[in-house]
Amino acid sequence: MLQTILIGSCISVQGLLVKKLANGRMQVRVGKRLYEGRPANASPKAA
């Protein structure tokens, strides 16, 4: 399943979902590379 994650404040990555991590982040695969970040559809944390 394709998922979009955010890495930092303005970088997004779309790839195949590898796993959901315990801390709420996700890991996606793009080619041979793995990326970890928070789901793009997650609500932003309150400051």
Please tell me the pTM assigned to this model: 0.81
Residues in contact with 3: Cβ distance below 8 Å, sequence separation at least 6, in sequence order: 14, 15, 16, 17, 26, 28, 39, 40
Residue 45 within a domain: no
Residue 25 within a domain: yes
Radius of gyration of the chain (CA): 10
Mean pLDDT computed over every residue of the chain: 91
Give pLDDT tens digits for 19-33: 999 999 999 999 999
Structure tokens at 32: 């041979």
Structural domain containing residue 14: 2-39
Residue 47 within a domain: no
E strand segments, 1-47: 2-7, 11-20, 26-30, 33-39
Residue 46 within a domain: no
